[in-house]
Structure 1
Amino acid sequence: MNTLEQVVPEGYKQTDIGVIPQGWKVSTIEGVAAIIDPQPDHRTPPESSNGDPYIGISDFISNKEVDWATSRKIISKAVDKQEKSFQLKKGDIVFGKIGTIGVPKFVPQVPFRFALSANVILLQPKKVEPVYLMEFFYSELFQQTLKAELHSTSQAAFGMNKMRLIKLPLPPKKEQTAIANALSDVDVLLTELEKLIAKKQAIKTATMQQLLTGKTRLPQFAAYTDGEQQGQTKGTKPSELGEIPEDWDVFFLGDICQIKMGQSPNSSNYNSVGKGFPLVQGNADIANRKTIVRNYTSEITKTADKGDLILSVRAPVGEIAKATFKCCIGRGVCSIKYPNEYLYQWFLSFESQWEKYSKGSTFDSINSDELKAIQIIIPTLEEQTAIATILSDMDNEIQAFEQRLAKTRQIKQGMMQELLTGRTRLPFDKES
């Protein structure tokens, strides 16, 4: 059954963009917003170290905030030229048309001058609630249209003419506001969750730095529990790695764990996903500290067991994950066997230090001997387990918040699909 053959519910009507409520209209972007090319000559203005910011989509760090410090600076005359053509207002939207396509952002409101890049389109809402228009750009309805338009051309670009002709469902202004407010409330929740996760991650990083170096000791390990020194706080001692707790020791990585370098099967033995034996190779198969399988193989070379650590050893070095399944390890990774999660947490804390070990003319890499020669300070197994438990609990808490964030984003997508098509209606004041 095609769109035109769908049964239209009472109170709705069929349009060329789908079924919408009777009181809604279909408009084009051109009908509800001024569409401006901020740099009609498409030339980047001359740079000036003391000039004004020149911003595009890639300079934004949120929906309305820009990293001004790293943005390109241009001569003031270029800003003068833009200001003669148009004035930026609250609610204006920039939309990437070249390079970064889409990803709309609200133009920031700041007490200084700046210019917009030639790579964006400026939209100034006139007959539409700005937040409603922004939410439409992130909706499935528009994203499908954008994808179709980009696939129809060999050059990745989305120009002014295409933007003018985009159609959108348009409810009455007060209903637009009600929809915008509902979705904005969810955005506030998403922002708060993102801030909370960032805070938790910062606390985790600081905790790792303290516990994994012995600078802070857990109470049960901070003092002697027997002998002549019972009750006394444990001190420190010098080592090759600097001052360390007096009851910790320095070891080579190769002396405390089993390291197995990967060996790729012949590519002719690769199978489609789900057939054969899972193959992990290179950091491309490690994402978000999880093992990601892109290939399967019928040839078994080197294997990692469930629970082993999998470390990328090239391009770049240092991505770490825990194997959640037995797998074949290919070129670019190694497996590491260790009795608890202490070493996993240590590898996470070591991320910023790989540069001094990683070297290569074409791509960064580290070999087996170099890996085994890395030095690490180690407490007793009992203290390792206690430290790892605390850090793992923090990881679990962060993961729970990340799952909640992902779920909230899914909920918002569902809300957008319902509200921006009129399938679900919100109460609003219909009186003028």
Structure 2
Amino acid sequence: MVKKKSIFPLTKLSDVVSMKSGESITAERITSEGKFPCFGGNGLRGYTTTFTHDGSYTLIGRQGALCGNVTFVSGRFYASEHAIVVTPKKETDIKFMSYVLYDMNLNQYSESSAQPGLSVKKLLELEYPIPKNKEEQAAIAEALSNIDSLISALQKLIEKKKSIKQGALQELLTGKKRLPGFSVEWRQALFGDLFDFLPTNAFTRDQMTDNGTIQNVHYGDILTKYGACLDMAKTDVPYLLESVSVRKYSESSYVRAGDVIIADTAEDSTVGKCVELVNVHGKVLSGQHTMLCRPKVTFAPKFLGYYMNAGCFHNQMLPFITGIKVSSISKANISTLVLKYPTLVEEQQAIAQVFSDMDDEIAQLEKKLAKYQQIKQGMMQELLTGRIRLKEGETNA
């Protein structure tokens, strides 16, 4: 693998580092808690009471589907036989080499077999443009490490915000905690008494396109892409091909704002995940493996989306989920589920607003994270090619 347009000389990895697999260890010796971290083919495996290395090294996953993953480790740790320990030679900065090895996408060199794996001998023969000056290597590593620190801090903040939201969902949507100004007792009713089930379609992915006149909400997107509420004005939802006949659907079959679409099939317990539709304009249908549910009573916008995805409602589905490889749930069983919800629409609206604000904050943080990750990729491209030099007195546009 050759780095394009680099001013640095091509260098064999064997000239700048040595590589050796770690030591074998039994699963019984690895625990969830311990003094020293233990690394294997896919990164951190757990902890042990002993260590194999002490210092700063780069680890490469040697075996498994994720072989080639790169981890920088500092301190005392145990490297298992499924990890390759990279040791720098005298004029090599090991943290810099972590970025080099990451950029080389080592997984592409895995050898086909029952268990994908990397050959140390073959890795050492690979070439990469590397600056000869260790100080310049260290400067590049420091610059990339700084952006990594920003990315890591932002990721932790996002996880914290999501955890706070989960706690709030548990409290506000069960009535354990009430928002200021509300004290009216909540109502309780069966799902079947509150919703009508409307016709859906069985159109496949192959029958959808990026443009058209009728949009189609697919169950796979509900499970993987959409949040609790699907804002049709802000989210790209695929269209049906113009050649697809939808004449059999009446106007009442098209989705309206406030409708809830449930994914009735999944490969795990996420079956039953749903979205509430917001800002619906034009014709939208509920797609394959979905239930289109229309409230018979008035609910505040977005309240149902948050409520029906929360544990207080979704956990009721678990005893009714059937199937082995593919899980599903029926309309009959959904109809028996219980909703306990605020009597006042104003309280529903206040609760929905809390979660909507949280989602907006998380979305902004995720956009910022994506921007930082993009900046890092640009920095790697510039610094690892030498188009931008960090060592004093050496600059290239």
Residue in 2 that maps onto 1:332: 289
Answering whether residue 247 of structure 2 is matched by residue 283 of structure 1, we say: no
Over residues 308-343 of structure 1, what are the superposed CA-to-partner deviations in whole Å (9 max), with x where a residue is unaligned? 433221223133335577544333222334541111
Residue 341, structure 1, aligned to residue 302, structure 2 = yes
The 1-side partners of 2:350 and 2:30 are apart by 53
Normalising by structure 1, report the TM-score.
0.72
Matching residue's letter, 1:273? T
Q: Is the 8 Å Cα contact of residues 264 and 281 (structure 1) preserved in structure 2?
A: no
Partner of 1:318: 272
Match of 1:106 among 67, 72, 76: 72
Residue 270 (structure 1) aligned with residue 233 (structure 2): no
Alignment map for 1:191-230 (pairs within 5 Å): 191-222=152-183
Give 1:387 deviation, angstroms: 0.8
CA contact (8 A) 1:285 1:294 kept: no
Q: How many angstroms does 1:304 deviate by?
A: 3.5
- 1:35 partner SS: strand
1:37 aligns with 2:21: yes
User: Are 1:256 and 2:242 counterparts?
Assistant: no
How is 1:257-406 mapped onto 2 (pairs within 5 angstroms)? 257-260=195-198, 262-265=200-203, 270-271=206-207, 273-274=209-210, 277-283=214-220, 286-290=223-227, 296-297=240-241, 298-300=244-246, 303-305=254-256, 308-315=259-266, 316=268, 317-323=271-277, 327-337=284-294, 339=299, 340-350=301-311, 351-379=314-342, 380-406=344-370
Write the letter of the residue equivalent to 2:188: V
Distance in 2 between the 1:162 and 1:307 partners? 59
Aligned equivalents of 1:189, 1:390: Cα separation in 2:
28
Name the stretch that deviates more: 88-97 or 205-214. 88-97
CA distance in 1 between counterparts of 2:377 and 2:177 reads: 44
SS of 2:182 mapped into structure 1? helix
Find the aligned partners of 2:347 and 2:193 in 1 and give their Cα distance. 19
**SS state at 1:398 partner:** helix
Give the deviation of 1:136 after TM superposition: 1.9
CA 1:381/1:323 → structure 2, altered by over 3 Å: closer, same or farther? closer
Please tell me the residue identity of whatever aligns with 1:192: A
Q: Which residue identity lines up with residue 20 of structure 1 in the other structure?
A: S
1:274 deviation in Å?
2.5
1:204: Cα distance to partner?
Answer: 1.1
TM-score by structure 2 length? 0.77
Gap change, CA 1:376 and 1:67, over 3 Å in 2:
farther
Letter in 2 for 1:357: F
Does structure 1 conserve the Cα–Cα contact (< 8 Å) formed by 2:169 and 2:310? yes
Secondary structure of the equivalent of 1:123? strand
- Cα drift, residue 247 of structure 1: 1.5
Secondary structure of residue in 2 paired with 1:423: coil
Alpha-carbon spacing, 1:170–1:388, altered in 2? closer, same or farther (3 Å):
same
Alignment counterpart, residue 55 of structure 2, candidates 90, 93, 98: 90
Please say if 1:18 is aligned against 2:1.
no
Pairs aligned (count):
358
Q: By how many angstroms is 1:261 displaced?
A: 6.1
Which one-letter code corresponds to 1:177 in the other structure? A
Contact residue 99 and residue 141 of structure 2 kept, 8 A: yes
Residue 296 of structure 1 and its aligned partner are, at CA, apart by 4.2
CA distance in 1, matches of 2:134, 2:393: 10
- Residue 58 (str. 1) matches residue 42 (str. 2): yes
Contact 1:289 1:322 in 2 (8 A): no
Q: CA RMSD in A?
A: 3.4
> Is residue 209–residue 239 contact of structure 2 (8 Å, CA) maintained in 1?
yes
* Letter paired with 1:158: L
Q: Distance in 1 between matches of 2:308 and 2:368?
A: 26
Query: What does residue range 58-77 of structure 1 map to in structure 2 within 5 Å?
Result: 58-60=42-44, 67-68=46-47
Aligned in 2, Cα 1:47/1:287: closer, same or farther, shift over 3 Å? Answer: closer
Change (3 A) 1:364 1:187: same
In the TM superposition, residue 33 of structure 1 has moved relative to its aligned partner by 1.0
Aligned residue in 2 for 1:10: none
Q: CA deviation at 1:186?
A: 0.9
**Deviation, structure 1 residue 288:** 4.1
The answer (yes or no) to whether the contact 1:186–1:412 under 8 Å persists in 2 is: yes
CA deviations 1:221-269 (Å, max 9, x no partner) are 14xxxxxxxxxxxxxxxxxxxxxxx62110112333344464313x6x9
Find the aligned partners of 2:165 and 2:182 in 1 and give their Cα distance: 20
1:417 Cα deviation after fit = 0.8
* CA 279–158 in structure 1, closer or farther in 2 if over 3 Å, else same: farther
Distance change in 2, residues 1:259/1:399 (3 Å) = farther
State the shift of 1:134 in Å.
Answer: 1.3
- 1:45-86 CA-partner distances (Å, limit 9, x unpaired): 6554689986414353xxxxx543xxxx8xx9xx8xxx8xxx
- For residues 198 and 53 of structure 2, the distance between their equivalents in structure 1, rounded to whole angstroms, comes to 59
Task: Give 1:101 deviation, angstroms.
Answer: 2.1
Percent identity reads 27
In the TM superposition, 1:128-167 aligns within 5 A as 128-139=92-103, 142-143=104-105, 146-147=107-108, 149=109, 156-167=116-127
